[in-house]
Amino acid sequence: MGLLDGKFAVVTGAASARGLGKATAKLFAEHGATVAILDLDQAQAEAAAADLGPNHVGMACNVIDKAQVQQVMDALIEKWGQIDILVNNAGITQPLKFMEIEPENYEAVTDVSLRGTLYCTQAVVPHMRQRKSGSIVNLSSVSAQRGGGIFGGPHYSAAKAGVLGLTKASARELAPDNVRVNAICPGFIATDITQGKLTPEMKEQVLAGIPMGRAGEAIDVAGCALFLASDLSAYCTGTEVDVNGGSLIH
Ligand code: NAD
């Protein structure tokens, strides 16, 4: 018996092969969920969904395009009859110093995390409210809590701090309808988000700050997402869960 038997889950930004979204989608599928992988490229989203096994769905969806997000969520509700779980995982980062942030950098990084989380959540909330059931998991970052310092610049910290604000305020508003919203704050996890720009010196410095002495694995984050998505966390809403090997104990 899986923790998510009979559940239908949407994970954004989940086509990246070594990413947190893909690992989460895979674990959800292993626990019985039917999963939709949304990402920018249709073929990559479909390939990632096919990796999970039959019945899973891959769809192109740019999370900052409100109309497209609504269309995709409506199509999934039509196909499945329900969406039980949404993981707002799509995100990008850039290693810029404060004075290097140009308007286009600010917009790119904050838009994917903030507009993306807002639009995807708005697109499923009426449905979840109506069913009086839903679990939404948002990807923030330790960068929001400690003021950056891993890879992403201040605009990334701001975007991820904004995700915590959205999480807590939406959790408060949606709680009466039994729609739960929680955030995960991963520390340094080995994925492709740094696009090969993490130098060996940067990596050494990051590892030195992790009491557990290792980078996180995507599955470490996926396990936490599974807990928050499932009924094991039925009385948790508005929480921020640290998955960081002890790199920020507060
Ligand atoms: P990743 O780069 O491996 O995957 C991110 C995915 O998001 C990619 O597949 C990309 O195509 C997709 N994406 C980007 N913009 C999109 C858009 N507009 N619409 C739809 N999809 C879009 O990254 P990851 O490391 O797996 O990170 C996943 C999430 O976790 C991100 O929100 C990231 O900020 C957060 N996070 C990661 C780490 C880490 O150390 N890896 C730490 C803290 C937080």
- 106 part of the active site: no
Rounded to an integer, what distance in angstroms lies between the CA atom of residue 238 and that of residue 164? 9
Residue 11 CB neighbours (<10 A): 33
Residue 150 confidence class, pLDDT cut points 50, 70, 90? confident
Tell me if 152 CB under 6 Å of ligand 1.
no
Confirm whether pTM is higher than 0.80: yes
pLDDT tens by residue, 29-49: 999 999 999 999 999 999 999
Rounded to an integer, what distance in angstroms lies between the CA atom of residue 33 and that of residue 155? 34
Residues, the chain, total? 250
Coil, strand or helix at 196:
coil
| Domain residue ranges in the chain | 8-243
Residue 247 CB neighbours (<10 A): 20
To test ligand 1's pocket by mutation, which of 16, 151, 194, 217 has the most ligand atoms within 8 angstroms of CB? 16
The Cα-based distances of 120 to 87, 89, 112, 206 in angstroms read: 9, 10, 11, 32
**CATH classification code of 8-243:** 3.40.50.720
pLDDT tens by residue, 3-29: 999 999 999 999 999 999 999 999 999
Tokens at residue 116, please? 């993306």
Tokens at residue 168, please? 């807590």
Tokens at residue 220, please? 């470490």
Residue 77 CB neighbours (<10 A): 17
- Could you tell me the distance, in angstroms and rounded to a whole number, from the CA of residue 176 to the centre of ligand 1? 30
β-pairing, 57-60 vs 34-39, is parallel
* ipTM value for the complex: 0.99
The per-residue pLDDT of the chain, averaged, comes to 97
Q: Which atom of ligand 1 is found nearest the CA of 20?
A: 26
To test ligand 1's pocket by mutation, which of 191, 243, 248 has the most ligand atoms within 8 angstroms of CB? 191
